[in-house]
A and B are shown apart, each in its own frame.
Chain A
Amino acid sequence: MTDAPAPSLLQVFADQTASAFALVLWVAAGLYLALWLYGKLVTFGRTYDDNSAVARAMPDLVTLTGYAVTVAFGLFALFWLLGGFLGATKWFWFGKYLPQILNGLWITMQMLVLSLVVGFIFAIPVGLVQVNGPRPLAWLAKGYCTVIRGTPLLLQLYMLYYGLGSLFQSYPEIRQSFLWPILREGYYYGFLALTLSVIGYEGEIMRGAFLAVPKGELEAARAFGMSRTTLLRRIWLPRAVRTVLPTLGGEVISQLKSTPVVSTVTVFDLFGVATKIRQETYRVYEPLLLAAVTYFILVYILSRIIARIEAQVPQKR
């Protein structure tokens, strides 16, 4: 048998603070109980002078001690949980991998923002031709949206990365060209798959949005003699975007939740870095937990930003 390992500094700290808080808690709880009992007793007996300073201060005192007990108990529970959590998990890798984690976060943000911006630019025509484009184009766009929405993103990504990738590899001209370093990177395939997916989902949303704009407004614009592009730029598109703003906001969040699939084609986004740390340190849960907390914070921040944008755009209900 080996000796029990010496407790880490962090654990000692957690234990010490926990006992200090326990002491505070004990004293405060005792004080609270005494005051409460005193208050009950004097009220029950009705023997005290209603206007005495003690009687008037009593409710405030009881409330204040109540707050103190709650805060002390809360802090105690927090430190106890934190201490237990830190004792049970291992985070030795955190400092070493921090630059990679931040880089992963940056790549996740790139994937999210770039795919959304580029995807939305293409989603506008895909939605528009389904509403008033020539038949074949409308069918093409409709079919595209159906295929993208009806198949898993992971499969689309594999198809691009392995399918297109192997196709490129089989041509020596491409393999020797200056484009090859780009065409070999998972990053660009991930970006392409995410963008194509945004076009499919948002193209369908924009189709509904264009249809939802009241006909009278478009007719009014034509009566003013607006050209087709002016009408689209000034009336149709802004009104369409406005009606589906909440839906688009939801799409932004679900796009963020789709980005981790790029880690399956060797892209080191946030999830990819977490997977790498797991493989290198043999810690099963801690990297995943860190990634989960980070994604949670990202989703929270994003939803706050979206809510703020939505609040600034007047909605006709």
Chain B
Amino acid sequence: MDQAFTLLSQWGGNLVVGAINTVLISLCAYGLGFILGLSGAVGKLSGGPIVRGVLNVYTTLVRSLPELLLIVILYYLGTQTINNLLATYEMSITINGFIAASIVLGFVSGAYQTEVLRGAIQAIPIGQIEAGMAYGMSPALRFRRIVLPAMLPHAIPGMSNLWLNITKDSALVGVVGYAELTLQTRQAAGGTKWYFTFYLASMALYLAISLVSLWFFRRLESRVRVGQARV
């Protein structure tokens, strides 16, 4: 038992760094996914046939493939494409693992977020949007003042789920070699042979991330639901 604590204090720093990396990757990917998801949802609802077709292919394809497979494909495809592009200009860079991981996870999450946000926008009573039009609001103003605030209560449960998914999917990035929490744990456990100690510790870290996020999203939901009738 004492030895377990000594080892934990030796390797604890690595685990904490891994946990911070996991949170940072998840945040970046979630932000990117939100941009993709919001533009995707707006495109799906008000775009032309070509835009809608492309977005349908994106969401259907990404949502029906395993995350691990997608992460591996996109990781290699992305890094190789960038390297090929740069090679034509006779340049070469090593692609930052953090950025690659964030982009890949964000691209995957964007497809799921598109569907959640599209559903949330569609759940807004059409009369509210029409009222905005009747006031002569421009589409951008209408989106900012009416669509966005009215959509949030419908979107937050789904978005909260997707955030929890992204923190867990970020573990898969370790498979392509980025040192987030799972890979750090694996290295610490493999190096010391105290498997259970480290896996339990990192499970506790993941659990803490999940529970804090859940608490945060609950607060957020009750905040955006102000003024709504309780169901």
- Give the distance in Å from the alpha carbon of A242 to the alpha carbon of B84 in the complex: 53
Decide if B210 touches A151 in the complex (CB within 8 Å): yes
Kindly supply a per-residue 1/0 record for chain A positions 142-185, scoring 1 wherever the CB is within 8 Å of any chain B CB and 0 otherwise.
00001101111111101100110011000000000000000000
- Give the distance in Å from the alpha carbon of A190 to the alpha carbon of B193 in the complex: 21
Could you tell me how many residues of chain A have their Cβ less than 8 Å away from some Cβ of chain B?
A: 36
B82 CB to closest chain A CB (Å) equals 15
- Give the distance in Å from the alpha carbon of A258 to the alpha carbon of B207 in the complex: 19
Show 30 A/B contacts (Cβ-Cβ < 8 Å), sorted by A.
Answer: A149-B164, A150-B211, A152-B170, A152-B171, A152-B172, A152-B206, A154-B174, A155-B171, A158-B182, A158-B189, A159-B203, A162-B190, A162-B199, A163-B189, A163-B196, A163-B199, A167-B196, A257-B66, A260-B66, A261-B68, A271-B66, A271-B69, A285-B73, A288-B72, A288-B73, A291-B69, A292-B65, A295-B64, A295-B65, A300-B64
Kindly supply a per-residue 1/0 record for chain B positions 155-198, scoring 1 wherever the CB is within 8 Å of any chain A CB and 0 otherwise.
00000000010011111101100000010011001100101100
Beyond contacts A253-B64, A284-B76: 10 other A-B pairs, Cβ-Cβ < 8 A, are: A147-B207, A152-B206, A153-B168, A159-B196, A257-B67, A271-B69, A288-B69, A292-B69, A296-B65, A300-B64
Decide if B69 touches A260 in the complex (CB within 8 Å): yes
Residue of A152, A263, A300 ringed by the most chain B CB atoms within 10 A = A152
A100 within 8 A of B: no
Closest to B76 in A: A284
Once A159-B195, A284-B80, A299-B64 are accepted as A-B contacts, the answer to whether A152 and B69 lie under 8 Å apart by CB is no
Decide if A151 touches B69 in the complex (CB within 8 Å): no
- Give the distance in Å from the alpha carbon of A296 to the alpha carbon of B65 in the complex: 6
Chain A to chain B: the 6 pairs with minimum beta-carbon distance, closest first: A150-B210, A152-B171, A163-B195, A159-B199, A299-B64, A152-B168
- Give the distance in Å from the alpha carbon of A263 to the alpha carbon of B68 in the complex: 10
A17 within 8 A of B: no
B202 within 8 A of A: yes
- Give the distance in Å from the alpha carbon of A256 to the alpha carbon of B167 in the complex: 20
A259 within 8 A of B: yes
B9 CB to closest chain A CB (Å) equals 20
Kindly supply a per-residue 1/0 record for chain A positions 268-291, scoring 1 wherever the CB is within 8 Å of any chain B CB and 0 otherwise.
000100000000000011001101
Residue of A146, A147, A258, A260 ringed by the most chain B CB atoms within 10 A = A260
Helix, strand, loop or mixed for chain A's interface? helix
A243 within 8 A of B: no
Once A258-B66, A271-B69 are accepted as A-B contacts, the answer to whether A147 and B203 lie under 8 Å apart by CB is yes
Decide if B186 touches A271 in the complex (CB within 8 Å): no
Decide if B172 touches A154 in the complex (CB within 8 Å): yes
- Counting residue pairs across A and B whose Cβ atoms lie within 8 Å, the total is 104
- Give the distance in Å from the alpha carbon of A284 to the alpha carbon of B78 in the complex: 13
- Give the distance in Å from the alpha carbon of A154 to the alpha carbon of B68 in the complex: 10
Decide if B193 touches A166 in the complex (CB within 8 Å): yes
Residues in B neighbouring A259, C-beta threshold 8 A: 66
B87 within 8 A of A: no
B77 within 8 A of A: yes
B78 CB to closest chain A CB (Å) equals 12
Report which of A154, A284, A291 forms a contact with B171, defined as CB distance below 8 A: A154
B63 CB to closest chain A CB (Å) equals 9
B99 within 8 A of A: no
- Give the distance in Å from the alpha carbon of A199 to the alpha carbon of B170 in the complex: 22
Once A158-B182, A166-B195, A285-B76 are accepted as A-B contacts, the answer to whether A295 and B206 lie under 8 Å apart by CB is no
Report which of B66, B80, B175, B203 forms a contact with A264, defined as CB distance below 8 A: B175
B86 within 8 A of A: no
B61 within 8 A of A: yes
- Give the distance in Å from the alpha carbon of A148 to the alpha carbon of B173 in the complex: 19
- In B199-223, the 8 Å CB interface with A consists of 199-200, 202-203, 206-207, 210-211
Report which of B64, B68, B76, B168 forms a contact with A271, defined as CB distance below 8 A: B68
Closest to B205 in A: A151
Residues in B neighbouring A256, C-beta threshold 8 A: 66
- Give the distance in Å from the alpha carbon of A299 to the alpha carbon of B193 in the complex: 39
B219 CB to closest chain A CB (Å) equals 18
Decide if B185 touches A155 in the complex (CB within 8 Å): yes
Residues in B neighbouring A151, C-beta threshold 8 A: 168, 203, 206-207, 210
Residues in B neighbouring A289, C-beta threshold 8 A: 73
- Give the distance in Å from the alpha carbon of A261 to the alpha carbon of B174 in the complex: 12
Residues in A neighbouring B189, C-beta threshold 8 A: 158, 162-163
Closest to A154 in B: B171
- Give the distance in Å from the alpha carbon of A263 to the alpha carbon of B172 in the complex: 12
Decide if A155 touches B203 in the complex (CB within 8 Å): yes
Residues in B neighbouring A285, C-beta threshold 8 A: 73, 76-77
- Give the distance in Å from the alpha carbon of A284 to the alpha carbon of B164 in the complex: 31
A133 CB to closest chain B CB (Å) equals 23
B231 CB to closest chain A CB (Å) equals 14
Closest to B73 in A: A288
Residue of B64, B76, B172, B200 ringed by the most chain A CB atoms within 10 A = B64
